[in-house]
Amino acid sequence: MKNKREKEVIKTSIISILANIVLAGFKVFVGLLSNSIAIISDAVNNLSDALSSIITIIGTKLAGKAPNKKHPYGYGRIEYMTSLIVSAIVLYAGITALIESIKKIIHPEKVDYTTITLIILIAGIIVKFILGIYVKKKGKEVNSDSLVASGADAFNDAILSISVLLSAVIYMIFKINIEAYVGILLSVFIIKAGIELIKESVDNMLGIRVESSLAKSIKKDITKEKDAQGAYDLILNDYGPDKYLGSVHIEVKDTLTVSEVDKISRRITKIIGEKYGVILHTIGVYSVNTKDKKIIDIKRDVSKIVFSNEGILQMHGFYVDIKEKTMSFDIIIDFKNKNREEVYNKIYDEVKNKYKEYDISITLDIDVSD
Give the pLDDT of residue 350.
Answer: 96
Give the pLDDT of residue 2.
Answer: 59
| Beta strands in the chain, from DSSP E residues, in sequence order | 230-238, 244-253, 278-288, 312-321, 326-333, 359-365
**Domain 2-206 listed as CATH 1.10.3210.10:** no
Give the pLDDT of residue 64.
Answer: 79
Give the pLDDT of residue 78.
Answer: 85
Amino acid at 74: G
Give the pLDDT of residue 223.
Answer: 94
Q: Cα 350 to chain center, whole Å? A: 40
The structural architecture, per CATH, of the domain 212-365 is: 2-Layer Sandwich (3.30)
Q: How far apart are CA 135 and CA 328, in angstroms?
A: 52
| 67 secondary structure, DSSP code | P
160 contacts: CB under 8 Å, gap ≥ 6: 42, 45, 185, 186, 189, 190
Q: pLDDT for 154-207, tens place per residue?
A: 877 787 788 778 888 888 888 888 878 887 887 888 788 888 888 988 888 888
Same fold, 2-206 and 212-365: no
Enter the pTM of the model: 0.70
What are the boundaries of each domain within the chain? 2-206, 212-365
Q: How far apart are CA 124 and CA 121, in angstroms?
A: 5
> Which residue ranges in the chain fall short of pLDDT 50?
none
Give the pLDDT of residue 98.
Answer: 85
Give the pLDDT of residue 307.
Answer: 96
* Bridge partners for 237 per DSSP: 245
